[in-house]
Structures are given as C-alpha cells and as structure tokens.
Amino acid sequence: MPDDLCFAPALELATLIRERALSPVELTHAVLDQIQRLNPKLGAYVLVHAERALDEARRAERAVMTGAPLGALHGVPVSIKDNLWTAGERTTSGSRLLADFIAPEDTPSVAGLRAAGAIFVGRTNLPEFAWRGSTDNPLFGESRNPWDLTRTPGGSTGGGAAAVAAGLAPLALGSDGAGSIRIPASFSGLVGLKPTFGRVPMYPAPGGHELVAHVCPLARTVRDVALMMNATARHDARDPFALPDDAVDYVASCDAPLALTGPLRVAWSPDLGFAPVEAETRDIVADAARLFTHLGAKVDDATPDIGDPGWILRTLYGGAQAGAHAARPKEQKARMDPELVAYAEASASLTVVDHVKAVAARQAMVDTLRRFFERYDLLITPTLCLPAFPLGVVGPREVAGREVTHLGWTLCYPFNYSGQPAISVPAGWTKSGLPVGMQIVGRRLDDALVLRAAAAFEAARPWAARRPPLT
C-alpha cells in the first residue's frame, strides 16, 4: 500500500483526502520513507523537510476532520526546485556561491501551491544556476535517472524529475528557460508543461533570461500537471510580464472533447527542419503522432520554416550567461561548475551588434511561427533528439552522426523564444527501456488546448502505470 500511494496520481490523492479515505499523515510518511530509501541512489533532493512536512500533514488532517475549507492540493506532497524561493529557506540554485542564501519570501508559484494546501517535502537538485540540460553541480553533485542509474534524468529540473519518476513525490515545481522542464520530462517518462510565457508568474526576475524563463509543473499524468496549473497560473504584480487571470479550470479542460468546433489541424515535424534526431526516437514519436488521426484530428507532415535557430540560442543564451558570470572574480569562478565558467567566458566576446541581430532573428522566427499556427492548431515534434545520455557530460557532442552544440540536441528552445505553450508527454520507450518524449505545441494562450490534446493522447495510450526498474 505505501508503494501504491507513492505512485498514485495527485488528483486521486487529493480526492481521497477530501473524502477522509486517506490521511495526509499516512501519505506524507509513505513519501518520506520512499525518499529515505531511494534518494541516496538518485540525488534528487538536496534538502528534505521531514519533521516540518509531518507537522503540516497533521494540521492538514485536522482541517479535514473539522470540516475546514480545503484547497485543491490539500495534503498532497510537492517538491520545489532549488532555484525557486520559499520564504525562510536556503535557496542555492545549485551553487556554492549561494550556499547560505535564505529566501526572504515565497515566489508566486510557491505561494499558489501553499494556498492550495500542498505539503512541501523538500528542495530538488539542478545544475548550477540552471544552465544546462543535465543535472550536476559542485555543491550537491549529480542526480541520476531512475530508469537507468548510469544516465542523467535531464536538466535543469533534473532532481524534480528523478523524484517524481521514482515516487519521491507526485508533483514537482520547476522552471524552463530553454527546455528545462521538457528535457527531464522526456528523459524520465513524465509530463512537463511549459505554459504560455507569463501565464505562471516568475519572481524574482531571472536576469538575462527574463523573456524566456517559465515556471512549470512536472508530474506523471496530464491532469496532475493541470491541477498544478490551477494553483499557480494566477496573476502576480511582482512579475511585470505576468498575464491577467484567465479563469480557466485546466483540469476541466482535460475532460473536454479534443475537437470542440471541428477536426483539429495538427502538424507533425520530425526535426523542425534543423535538428539531428536518432532513428529510434523519431520512429517512436512518429508512431505516437499518427495516433492523433484516430482521435479525430487531421495530421499533416509540415515543418515551420524557421531555419536553424541554434545561433540565436548561442547568442542570447550565451550572452545571458556571459553577463551573469564572465566578469566574476577568479575566486568565485574557482568554486563554480568549470563548464559553466568556460561557456560564459566563451560568450563574453559577443557584441551589442551580435545581440541586436539575434533579437531581430528571434522576432522573425516568432512571426514565422505565428503564421504557421494560422494554418495549424497544434504542432507535434520529438521533445529531444535522443533518449537520456550517460552521466558525467554536459550534453552529447554528436547525435545521429552530426555534431551538436549546447542544447542543440533538443527541439525545445524555439518555443521559449516564441512564448508558446509546449508540453512533453511520454511517446514510448526504447528497446533498452528508456523513455522518449513527444512535444505538443500550441498557439500563445492556448494552454488549455495543449493540455486537452495531451490528455486525449494519454487516454488512448496511458503510461502512468509503468515504473522504473529502481522502484
């Protein structure tokens, strides 16, 4: 029974708690026991609040028994990525430079989860300053993938992904600046949504990444991700880019018919026209995309003409890292991830002219995507170009016989630049047992449709019952 609790959907757990069929204390004990058993192997959590979580669970139980008003996540354990502020807690961003930093207040998404009644069991690992698509840092070391402990769970929300995949909490709160929720979702067999830019407010501002960074939910099921959206997708004045409340019930959106006003127009692109994709990954996602024809959609082979946006990423993302770290004193750099330092220093020679050209190219790419989505409701791609790669590297140097640069093995980052909602769901597993993700992209503000499409696919080809060998 405890193991079953650790893998039950959050939506089901919350219902059982409200119906007095499950004690929040029992659930929290089960999750904490799972953490104690498996976290030493996974490196998912960097801080566990066992006693405090149990105190919160006891208060949650009393509220149930006394008939007090209950939030949608009342008594449900959640993990928080260690770059998102939680008032009064150490928040390190995986860096020895912030090893003693105490957050002065809750970030908006944390406050939303708290108001919904979630129980925070701990903080999860990430690469230093969330800079890469694998999770390893000088302060806490590496996180490992529950599907294969010799491989990365992805990054930068890698600790959260390892935790959810192994039953160390049903939900994780993370972030995504160039794929950091969708990469670990794909590598770890999970659902990760990057909402429309501004839909989930972010504070404090993430420096040079403020126009691409998103706060994101990560879970095992689509409806659990939607449940987190209901708690976090609310306007907060601290974020100047935060959108007004849309009053959407994202869980209810998952229950609506896929096509509300006629057949959906879906584009399938195996590579977005620029990315090298391994054959097995491409074939798994192509088979998954074809399923949408049986769900009532019209699926075309179609790719937006965005060229190769890798140089935009290298300029804007690299420039942001250079601005944050290239001029740090030598003694600080000596305490940092040497790969991050090298990446920042290599980007320090970029000029203002380089930056302006990249901004203009980004704007042109966004316009191209806007025109593409005048013809299509959704775009489906592989999330990544390959399954999880081995530990000990920032990323692969080569995919499908082609050399790739930093994050060039993903199909995620163009939609950070366009601000569109994009979700990664499990499309299948490789012959060696590694998960492969499918990315579903919608128009800006069409988060509900993206979730509805993902939920329809999950109903047709469910995955949540499959568990990693570690568990």
**143, 156, 253, 424: the active-site residue:** 156
Angle in degrees, CA 339, 340, 345, rounded to 5: 100
Q: Are 163 and 113 in contact (CB under 8 A)?
A: no
What are the start-end ranges of the E strands in 333-470?
A: 378-382, 398-399, 402-403, 422-429, 435-442
Give the alpha-carbon dihedral of 143, 146, 150, 152, to 10 degrees: -50
Angle in degrees, CA 390, 402, 128, rounded to 5: 40
Among this protein's residues, is 41 annotated catalytic? no
Query: Regarding beta strands 77-81 and 119-124, do their DSSP bridges make them parallel or antiparallel, or are they unpaired?
Result: parallel
**23, 180, 253, 418: the active-site residue:** 180
Q: Which of 303, 147, 160 lies closest to 218 in space, CA to CA?
A: 160
- Token pair 């939506």 is found at 11
Cα distance between residue 71 and residue 86, in whole Å: 19
State the DSSP string of 74-142: TT-EEEEETTS--TTSB--TT-GGGTT-B-SS--HHHHHHHHTT-EEEEEE--SGGG-SSS-EETTTEE
Q: Are 292 and 299 in contact (CB under 8 A)?
A: yes
Cα distance between residue 344 and residue 364, in whole Å: 26
Tell me whether residue 335 is exposed, middle or buried, using C-beta atoms within 10 angstroms of its C-beta: 0 to 12, 13 to 18, 19 or more: middle
Among this protein's residues, is 134 annotated catalytic? no
**23, 79, 81, 188: the active-site residue:** 81
- Sign of the torsion angle spanned by Cα atoms 199, 200, 205, 211: negative
Asked if the bond preceding 263 is cis, omega within 30° of 0, the reply is no
Among this protein's residues, is 298 annotated catalytic? no
Distances 107 to 52, 202, 271, 399 between C-alpha atoms, Å: 19, 7, 35, 37
Structure tokens at 327: 């001029």
Identify how many contiguous H helices and E strands the chain contains and give both numbers: 16, 15
C-alpha 353, offset from chain centre? 32
Residues annotated as catalytic (active site), given as ranges:
81, 156, 180
